[in-house]
Amino acid sequence: MRELTVQTHAHREMVDVTAQVRDVVGETRIAAGMCLVYSPHTTAAVTINENADPDVVTDLLRSWVDLLGDERRFEHAEGNSGGHALTSLVGPSVTVPIASGRLVLGQWQAIFLCEFDGPRQRTLHVQVISDPVGT
């Protein structure tokens, strides 16, 4: 397992980490298997979405604000309940197949760290699992 460090720069943002994850997969020299990307944080998530048009990220961030509504209504003393809620909705991890030594992502897909309580320094755990059959 490898750890990636990601510095975020805004309260809510999506950081494309695809290149860093690809580098980890390449270093393993595994031809076939799965790659797990996991966030151990309660206010940061991981998702796969479009990376070609930056408006998609803008729209996602806006939709999450709309979904949460007025965050002042939450009771958590730290004031980051919205971040906790969004992390539960988006999820802490993604799993991507590996074939021919490469991540199997769609043409427009990227892996994103979703920051919901930044800016902060975040850690991602990347676990590459070999397919014993090697297909």
> What Cα–Cα distance (Å) separates residue 71 from each residue in 65, 83, 90, 93?
9, 10, 18, 25
What is the per-residue pLDDT for 77?
72
| Assigned domain for 7 exists | yes
Answer yes or no: pTM beyond 0.85. yes
135 domain-assigned: no
Residue 104 binned pLDDT confidence (cut-offs 50, 70, 90):
very high
Once rounded to an integer, what is the mean pLDDT over residues 102-109? 97
Domain of 58? 2-130
pLDDT band at 134 (very low <50, low <70, confident <90, very high): low
**SS3 assignment for the chain:** CEEEEEECCCCCEEEECHHHHHHHHHHHCCCCEEEEEECCCCCEEEEEEECCCHHHHHHHHHHHHHHHCCHHHCCCCCCCHHHHHHHHHHCCEEEEEEECCEECCCCCEEEEEEECCCCCEEEEEEEEEECCCCC
29-84 pLDDT per residue, tens: 999 999 999 999 999 999 999 999 999 999 999 999 898 877 777 778 777 788 88
Q: Residue 112 in contact with residue 49, Cβ under 8 Å?
A: yes
Question: Does residue 34 fall inside a structural domain?
Answer: yes
The CATH code of the domain that includes 35 is 2.60.120.460
In a domain, 41, yes or no: yes
Query: Which pLDDT score is estimated for 76?
Result: 81
Decide if 73 is inside a domain. Answer: yes
Give how many domains the chain has, as a whole number. Answer: 1
Q: What is residue 114's predicted lDDT score, i.e. its pLDDT?
A: 98
Asked whether residue 49 is assigned to any structural domain, the reply reads yes
